[in-house]
A = this chain, B = another copy of it.
Amino acid sequence: MAQLTYRNAVARGIAQEMRRDERVVLIGEDVAGAGGVFKTTEGLLDEFGPRRVVDTPISEQAILGAAMGAAMTGLRPVAEIMFADFFAVCWDIVANQIAKTRYMTNGQVTVPLVIKSGNGGSLRFGAQHSQSVENWAMAVPGLKVVTPATPRDVVGLMAAAVRSDDPVLFFEHKGLYAMKSEVPDGEIVDELGKAVIRRAGTDATILSLGLTVGRALDAAAQLASSGIEAEVIDVRSLVPLDIRTILASLNKTGRLFTVEENPRLLGWGAEIASIVADEGFWDLDGPVQRITTPYIPLPAADSLEDLVIPSADLVAATVTKALRS
């Protein structure tokens, strides 16, 4: 058991899979020589050589197209899109090609690839380098979507993603790269589509993802001190979605809150809220409430950015108000 940073866990997860399977290759801008601009692929060039770890031009469409074509023909590529905001320059390859080709060809073509990307805010990078865009991917049928919240989960979910025969969008949270915690030794492989209850509780269910997991846990600690026992769920995987864990928790607590980093409209919590308003309706003791970044691009200034991304205080206050009213 070693302490590992979230960023080093990315490289460890990829290395674990590259050792196991020669078909796994890595491409992206500055992923090889430089070890990634976020240092998430450090050491991989040294261990696996320039044939398996490849630096590319600034050509996101070409990168993902190459990954797709290779996946269609026997490789299992991991491709990096440096900042998740840049999915917008290659969205056609993701949403129209990678996501749809298996279906359109009635299963003739399999596209086993992983697209890893630095997602999310809190680093004062401004509106074009801070977005949380898991919800973009969730809206497109044919993409699996995961966001690990801990170094251990980075390894386990990366392994699951690489082993998946379907395309997986792997959203690393830039604000968590420096996070360090225990990661068990040996091979770690998770299953896609499983949420994890990070803290058990009886009074309210709080759903969280990526950066907001820690904030939800902090909020739950605050709430506990005022007598509210919140259950905090780390959703981990948006597609497939672990509805059962969520509905079971709601059944116990009667109240649902989502803590989303994405801006309000059609954030991932909207889908879950709509599911719960249908399938969990009779379990609900009160309104479903979503705590999200407001409907704005992210401002660059630290003071403003801190204001708008949901904080533990905001979560605690929202839950308290809802449960006390």
Interface residues of A (CB under 8 A from B): 85-89, 91-92, 94-96, 99-100, 103-104, 126-128, 135-136, 138-142, 239, 262-263, 265-271, 273-274, 276-279, 281-282, 284, 286-290, 295-297, 299-300
Report A197 CB to chain B, min CB distance, Å.
22
Provide the residues of chain B in CB contact with A86, threshold 8 Å.
Answer: 92
Q: Are A139 and B141 in contact (CB under 8 A)?
A: no
Report A3 CB to chain B, min CB distance, Å.
36
Q: Are A85 and B96 in contact (CB under 8 A)?
A: yes
Q: Are B289 and A278 in contact (CB under 8 A)?
A: yes
Report A155 CB to chain B, min CB distance, Å.
27
CB contact under 8 A between A266 and B135, given known A281-B284, A297-B104, A297-B141? yes
Give bound CA distance, A186 to B269, whole Å.
44
Q: Are A142 and B297 in contact (CB under 8 A)?
A: yes
CB contact under 8 A between A296 and B265, given known A85-B96, A270-B274, A278-B289? no
CB contact under 8 A between A88 and B91, given known A239-B265, A268-B266? yes
Cβ-neighbour of A139 out of B99, B136, B277, B300 (below 8 A): B136
Give bound CA distance, A127 to B104, whole Å.
7
Q: Are B296 and A141 in contact (CB under 8 A)?
A: yes
Q: A270-B270, A278-B288 are in contact. List 12 more A-B contacts (CB 8 A).
A: A85-B96, A86-B92, A91-B92, A103-B127, A103-B297, A104-B126, A104-B297, A104-B300, A139-B266, A266-B268, A274-B290, A279-B287
CB contact under 8 A between A266 and B276, given known A88-B96, A103-B127, A141-B296? no
> A103: nearest residue on chain B (CB-CB)?
B297
Provide the residues of chain B in CB contact with A269, threshold 8 Å.
Answer: 274
Give bound CA distance, A175 to B288, whole Å.
36
Give bound CA distance, A296 to B295, whole Å.
28
Report A42 CB to chain B, min CB distance, Å.
28
Counting from the closest, the 10 A-B pairs by CB-CB distance are: A273-B274, A277-B277, A88-B92, A281-B287, A139-B266, A277-B288, A270-B270, A88-B91, A91-B91, A100-B297
Provide the residues of chain B in CB contact with A273, threshold 8 Å.
Answer: 270, 273-274, 277-278
Report A218 CB to chain B, min CB distance, Å.
23
Question: Can you list 13 A-B pairs with a CB-CB distance of less than 8 A?
Answer: A103-B299, A135-B139, A135-B266, A138-B266, A139-B139, A269-B274, A270-B271, A273-B273, A273-B278, A276-B277, A277-B284, A278-B287, A279-B287
Provide the residues of chain B in CB contact with A139, threshold 8 Å.
Answer: 135-136, 139, 262-263, 265-267
